[in-house]
Amino acid sequence: MTTKRKISWRKILQMLLTITVATCCIVAMVSASDIESELPLKTMPLVHIKNDRKYHFIEQNEIMNLAIYDRKVDIVHTPVGKLDIRGIEEAIKGDKWVQDAQVYVNIDRVMHIYVTQRVPVARIFGQNGGSYYIDTTLHTMPRSKSYTYYTQIVTNVPEMNDDSAGMALRGQVVSLIRCLQANKFWSAQVSHIVMKSPGMFELIPVLGNQKIVFGDTSFAQEKLDNLTTFYNKVLNRIGWDKYETLDVRFRNQVIASPSLPFDGPVDKASLQMNWIKSIEETVGIKVQSSHRSPKAKAIVARKPAVAEKAKPKSETHANTKKAASADNRSKNSNQVKKGKKPSKQGVKSKSKENKPKYIYQENNQH
């Protein structure tokens, strides 16, 4: 026998009351929103530019011109509901120096505009004489009329269009510059970059008069590491101006060409000097003796004799005294072998041979 469940009118009333209250709240919020949307903004839009203290490629007044004044928007009397928020965002993003823009109106009827500036990584000087900037997203920006940003310079660049070839060339430029900027030394050492041909680069350093033939951007970090080792092992010892060309196009190699003619004092000695041999001797590369001529060997053999003649008189006099004392000791030893007593003079010379005055007298007697 089944039992009938009793209907709880109390629960039903509670449910109906909850639904009614929720519906009223939603209607009230919608009505309030409709009322607010019929009202204009309380204040002028607030513009927020990211990194505006460090970069000044675009100012707040330029953003206001793009968003409001150039579009002839009556921001004072236009209701919030009739403002074209999406159109304002697209107008701001249309500027070459704007990377991203977000616009919204909060519950207080205040419009906020957030703008992100593009930060260039290089300034390009084209073969046609034009100049512009490029950022990490391969986007090109024109020069700013009110602000100059100092960054890496790339010269002799051909025209880079928006096609696949142009974008690939932009990617190589940005890749090389980011590799240089990752190292503090090379970021400060490279004055500018020359594009000798599409995809082939040449670095011009700040210190030293040489040029660095870098080639393409393949194995860029390895090439910089080889150059750093060459700087530490070679250039720090022989000077920064000994070579005019450093070629790192080939893996695990640094090919250095001597700077001839050398930019030094013009005299006979410098003109007759073998700079390549001088560099080899400074670095520590010894020339094998088999390559020397017999005349050179004779000159080397005579060097000690020349040095002997150049000894001072005091050193010659001391050597004479030592020879005399040695002669006295040999004579006394011979007398002992023959059964003779050594002379007093010989004993005195042996005991007091370190006295210069006495030895000099002994040499006079003999």
- What pLDDT shows up at residue 272? 46
Taken in order 137, 141, 147, 152, is the CA torsion positive or negative? positive
Residues forming beta bridges with residue 343, ordered by sequence position: none
Token output for 145: 């009329």
Q: How far is CA 116 from the centre of its chain?
A: 27
Taken in order 265, 271, 277, 281, is the CA torsion positive or negative? negative
- What pLDDT shows up at residue 292? 42
- What pLDDT shows up at residue 314? 46
- What pLDDT shows up at residue 288? 42
Q: What is the mean pLDDT of each run of 10 residues along the chain (366 residues)?
A: 64 80 74 64 92 87 92 88 91 93 91 93 93 93 86 93 92 94 90 93 89 93 92 79 88 80 46 40 41 36 37 46 51 47 44 38 34
- What pLDDT shows up at residue 8? 72
Residue 331, class by beta-carbon neighbours within 10 Å (0-12 exposed, 13-18 middle, 19+ buried)?
middle
| Cα first-last separation, the chain | 158
Give CA torsion, residues 127, 128, 129, 130, to 10 deg: -100
Q: Is the peptide bond before 40 cis (omega within 30 degrees of 0)?
A: no
Q: How many CA atoms lie within 13 A of 13 on its CB side?
A: 3
- What pLDDT shows up at residue 6? 65
- What pLDDT shows up at residue 104? 92
Token output for 322: 């030592």
Q: Which of 88, 103, 101 lies closest to 58 in space, CA to CA? A: 101
- What pLDDT shows up at residue 305? 37
- What pLDDT shows up at residue 252? 87
Pick the CATH number of 46-117 from 3.40.50, 2.60.420, 2.40.50, 3.10.20: 3.10.20
Q: Which of 179, 173, 182, 129 lies closest to 153 in space, CA to CA? A: 173
- What pLDDT shows up at residue 102? 94
- What pLDDT shows up at residue 243? 86
- What pLDDT shows up at residue 224? 93
Distance CA(157)–CA(193), nearest Å, equals: 10
In the chain, domain spans? 46-117, 121-279, 313-365
Any idea which fold 121-279 has? Rossmann fold (3.40.50)
Q: Which of 72, 119, 80, 137 lies closest to 103 in space, CA to CA? A: 80
Q: What is the 3-state secondary structure (H, E, C) of the chain?
A: CCCCCCCCHHHHHHHHHHHHHHHHHHHHHHHHHHHHHCCECCCCCEEEEECCCCCCCCCHHHHHHHHHHCCCCCCCCCEHHHCCHHHHHHHHHCCCCEEEEEEEECCCCCEEEEEEECCEEEEEEECCCCEEEEECCCCEECCCCCCCCCCEEEEEECCCCCCHHHHHHHHHHHHHHHHHHCCHHHHHHEEEEEEEECCEEEEEECCCCCEEEEECCCCHHHHHHHHHHHHHHHHHHHCCCCEEEEECCCCCCCEEEECCCCCCCCCHHHHHCCHHHHHHHHHCCCCCHHHCCHHHHHHHHHHHHHHHHCCCHHHHHHHHHHHHHHHHHHHHHHHHHCCCCCCHHHHHHHHCCCCHHHHHHHHHHC
